[in-house]
Amino acid sequence: MAKRDLLTLTDITPGELQDLLRLAGSLKTDLRAGRMPRPLDGKVLALIFHKPSLRTRVSFQAGMNRLGGSAMYLSDREIGMNTREALRDIARVLSGYVDGIMIRTFSHAWVEELARFATIPVINGLTDDYHPCQILADLQTVAENFDGLEGRRVVFVGDGNNVFRSWANAARLVPFHLTLCCPQGYTPPAAFMEGIRAACGDRVRVEHDPVAAIEGAEIVYTDVWASMGQEDEAAARRTVFLPYQLNETLLAGAAAEAIVLHCLPAHRGEEITDEVVDGPRSRVFDQAENRMHAQNALLVRLMGEGWS
């Protein structure tokens, strides 16, 4: 079986996405029933972190343990990527020790190079450009609340960051409607949006008026206004994004059955209020739990049984 990677959601087919979501749901049910299978018995996953994370580290490490394998945490102090040692050499060395690599870093090009030279699966745990594992968890959460995602209206309130771009890539695989609601000047690069529009047509659009964008939305998503690496922009972004705060007033325009998602960590009182993140529409903590279940399904497919 040829090795597979997940660097963006474009690395899987629509059928494989549906398979992952079904398997994620099954593994979640098994875990809660106390009958967790162990398909990754003896497997080892290397976890490389350049950016810290509560959810990414714990969900992958706990997930590997529950699946019968183990995980090994590596910071850049141990590795020195592209400083002490070339990426291609690191890929080859790790390929001889472990069965898979998860990397959470800044440069997407680094992840691509690591995957190119590794002979084992490489999973993008987050880069500045994409966050595919988060969207797998998001889609599982949507599946738990709605009868399918096709035709649904998803509104992402924030900038065109790595989470939005991965949602846009998901729209290539499932025909839902996606709106990015952001201030002028905060959309993704033009080349990316051109590719998305070529694939999805008018199902993916940009709206600068938050009230108009959220009207009738069924899935309302937000994220921090300044991501890691943008700390020097944080003060300016707080001013620009203030009208885009997800609060009860703005959320009132969404569909009656709308749910609220946030990939966390949340800056409460900035992009989202306490009343919303803790409110009855919030599925934020279900979504956080589903990081483990969705990634467990991915680990089984990439490091275990595979796709036929």
The residues assigned a catalytic role are 104, 131, 134, 223, 263, 291
| Residue 3 backbone zone (phi > 0: left; psi -120 to 50: alpha; other: beta) | beta
By C-alpha distance, which of 87, 127, 125 is closest to 106? 127
Asked if 138 contacts 202 with a C-beta cutoff of 8 angstroms, the reply is no
Q: In this structure, what token pair is assigned to residue 3? A: 């090795």
Q: Which residues share a beta bridge with 260?
A: 220, 282
Q: What are phi and psi of 231, to 5 degrees?
A: -60, -35
Cα separation, 251 vs 242, in Å, equals 15
What's CA 133's distance to the chain center, in Å?
Answer: 4
Cα separation, 287 vs 277, in Å, equals 12
Cα separation, 205 vs 203, in Å, equals 6
